Amino acid sequence: MQNIAVFTSGGDAPGMNAAIRAVVRTALHYNIGVKGIVNGYDGLINGDIIDMDSRSVANIIQRGGTILKTSRSEEFRTAEGRAKAGRMVKEHNIEGLVAIGGDGTFTGAEIFCRETGITVMGVPGTIDNDLYGTDYTIGFDTAINTAIDAIDKIRDTADSHNRVFLVEVMGRHAGFIALEVGIGGGAEAILIPEEETKIEDLINFFSKEKRKQKSFSIIVVAEGDDAGGAFDIAKKMKAAIPGFDPRVSVLGHIQRGGKPSAYDRLLGSRLGSGAVVELLEGETNKMVGIVSNELVLTSFAEAIGKSKQVDRSLLKLASILA
């Protein structure tokens, strides 16, 4: 293998730049040429491909986002788009791809690999931490620390005004962020997609006389909770509890930005370097992950097809501490 390329796709995540840096410098260490594909799958289709060297990834490990930019490509979802991308890979003499992203990225990579036979290795980069085959994904640690920092600030206002705040965090299909943020932020209730939310129980809890004596509370809500988002839940509770006047704060995309934590920089570095090594070993159509602090490989089909479960012991802990 003489030339490889790296790209980022889907939602950005803090630590992606650390992974890009590791891919480039590991490839150069093994005397492999390395290119960067700008703007994800769209960039691959359009031939937006640049040469990279050690200097091109200098001073990026501390930066959030991705220097290679990212997108969600509708054209790549078509057979014609993937065929065009395949021609670009051959035109630029690329023998292996490192795809950094989440389930959408790997879904596309798995199909692309099968259709074209092009070697692809995946690096899990998503703040949702919802990919099977790795304990943590790049960006998750930074996202929960960002959310907890925000909740600490909201707590000051909640305390000052004796209010209940519902804080909505990201997680359309998974509650990993909400669960860890809720425990770390001292929330009295944590609502996640994996657990049915019974509004009646929540209303009963906040209607109790003992509960009313407490000056303030924080409720953490994953955006994909089955009872709706934080605004819907607050509206239902307000209508059912006399005098109940909660406030809502939606953290949104702030969780994706900012400098990556030390853990995400290390994780991105380990996974990016590991992906290159596995490519050189002849592996393809797989994702590199870290399980019990060991580098492991998981097929794209398993990574996106198997359901990663939240830690049930954390759910119990959250209930006890609330």
Active site residues: 128
Give yes or no for a contact between 297 and 283, defined as CB atoms under 8 angstroms apart.
Answer: yes
Task: Identify the H or E element spanning 247.
Answer: strand 247-250
Alpha-carbon distance 42 to 150, whole Å? 34
Distance between CA atoms of 277 and 283, rounded to whole angstroms? Answer: 9
For the residues of 36-83, what is the DSSP string, one character each? Answer: EETTHHHHHHHT-EEEE-GGGGTT-TT-SS-TT-----SGGGSHHHHH
Q: What is the 3-state secondary structure (H, E, C) of 249-301?
A: EECHHHHHCCCCCHHHHHHHHHHHHHHHHHHHCCCCCEEEEEECCEEEEEEHH
* Cα–Cα dist 229/250, whole Å: 9
Identify whether the C-beta of residue 132 lies closer than 8 Å to the C-beta of residue 298: yes
* Strand arrangement of the beta sheet that strand 189-191 belongs to: 189-191, 217-222, 164-169, 247-250
Let me know: does 103 contact 131? Beta carbons within 8 Å.
Answer: yes
Asked if 106 and 304 touch (Cβ cutoff 8 Å), the reply is yes
Provide the greatest CA pair distance for the chain. Answer: 71
